[in-house]
Amino acid sequence: MIKYSKNFVIGIWSLIKGLAVTIKYCFRPAVTLQYPTQKRPMSDCYRGLVGLHPEKCIVCYQCVKMCPTACLAITHKLEDKKKTLETFKYNMELCCFCGLCEQVCPADAIVMTKIYEISVYDRKKLDINLLDDKKYDEWTHTTIK
């Protein structure tokens, strides 16, 4: 009985000690964000979906060779001995957002955008044509500038 009450008192005491820590934080401003309405701004080098400046691309195929998951595919055509892009496909399903393509590109043509809320209902939407200007219209609202 004595042991029981002793344990009881010790238990209550350590509960109070623990509660002191929690109460301390009760009166400090909350650190959580209410997510869909509040969003954290992305850092400058944030790696979201892959984007492209087609006019800068020199069709060197470095990004395709570097991509570890083989999600980029390019075809080109020759116009008076100058390579121009024909298609630039990006299979977002495979992308692991590693940023190696952006790093290796000699012309800064391929970039990582800040779009990160990228769930879709239709799987076909994951196959993205990077040459299309309106490709990310659906998702741009997820980005904080």
Partner 1 sequence: MDATQTKEMYTEEFLINMGPQHPSTHGVLSLELKLDGETIRNCTPHIGYLHRSMEKIAENRTFTQFIPFTDRLDYVASMNNNLGYVMAVEKLLNLEISERAKYIRVIIAELNRIASHLIATGTFAQDLGAFATPLFYCFREREKIVEIFDQICGNRLTYNYMRIGGVLADLSGEIIEKIKEFIEYMRPKVDDYDELITYNVIFLARSKHIGVLSKEMAINYSVTGPNLRGSGVKWDLRKDEPYLVYDKLEFDIPVGENGDAWDRYKVRIEEMRQSLRIIEQAIESLPQGEVTVRVGRILKPSASETYFRTENPRGELGFYIVGDGSVYPYRLKIRSPSFSNLAVLPELVKGIKVADIVCVLGSFDVLMGEIDR
Query: 114 or 139: whose CB is closer to partner 1?
Result: 114
Main-chain phi, psi angles of 49, to 5 degrees: -60, 150
Binding residue for ligand SF4, selected from 48, 51, 57, 136, defined by CB under 6 A: 57
Decide if residue 71 touches ligand SF4 (CB under 6 A).
yes
Decide if residue 99 touches partner 1 (CB under 8 A).
yes
Single out the segment in contact with ligand SF4 by CB under 6 A; choices: 6-14, 33-41, 61-69, 134-142.
Answer: 61-69
Q: Which listed option, ligand SF4, partner 1, none, makes contact with residue 71 (CB within 5 to 8 Å by class)?
A: ligand SF4
Please answer whether residues 117 and 46 qualify as being in contact, where contact means their C-beta atoms are separated by less than 8 angstroms.
Answer: no
Q: How many CB atoms lie within 10 A of CB 10?
A: 10
Decide if residue 1 touches partner 1 (CB under 8 A).
no
Q: Which listed option, partner 1, ligand SF4, none, makes contact with residue 20 (CB within 5 to 8 Å by class)?
A: partner 1
Query: Least distance from C-beta 30 to ligand SF4, angstroms?
Result: 34
How is residue 49 written in tokens?
Answer: 């979906």
Cα(79)–Cα(49) distance, rounded to whole angstroms?
30
Cα(120)–Cα(139) distance, rounded to whole angstroms?
10
DSSP state letters, 37-76: TS-PPPPTT---SEEE-TTT-----HHHHH-TT--EEEEE
Residues making contact with ligand SF4 (CB under 6 A):
50, 57-63, 66-67, 69, 71-72, 74, 95-101, 105, 107, 109-110
